[in-house]
């Protein structure tokens, strides 16, 4: 994700420009998948 965020502050007759930092990307969500055959767990993995 890339954003161009600029903060402009006016102090008297001067304008001060500051670039805001980029937001951090979201943390990945780990999910566990399970495969059952006839009520028996045969495989398990993370996606």
CA 38 to chain centre: 39
CA atoms of 3 and 46, how far apart (whole Å): 31
- DSSP label at residue 43: E
pLDDT per residue as tens, the chain (47 positions): 556 788 999 999 999 999 888 888 888 888 999 999 999 999 999 88
Supply the pLDDT for residue 16: 93
Q: How far is CA 39 from CA 21, 28, 35, 36, in A?
A: 51, 30, 9, 6
Supply the pLDDT for residue 2: 58
CA 46 to chain centre: 19
Supply the pLDDT for residue 28: 85
Would the CA dihedral through 37, 38, 39, 42 be positive or negative? negative
Supply the pLDDT for residue 1: 53
């Amino acid at each position: 994700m890339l954003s161009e965020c600029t903060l402009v502050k006016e102090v008297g007759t001067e304008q001060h420009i500051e670039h805001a930092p980029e937001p951090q990307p979201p943390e990945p969500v780990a999910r566990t998948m399970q495969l059952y055959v006839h009520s028996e767990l045969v495989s398990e993995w993370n996606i």
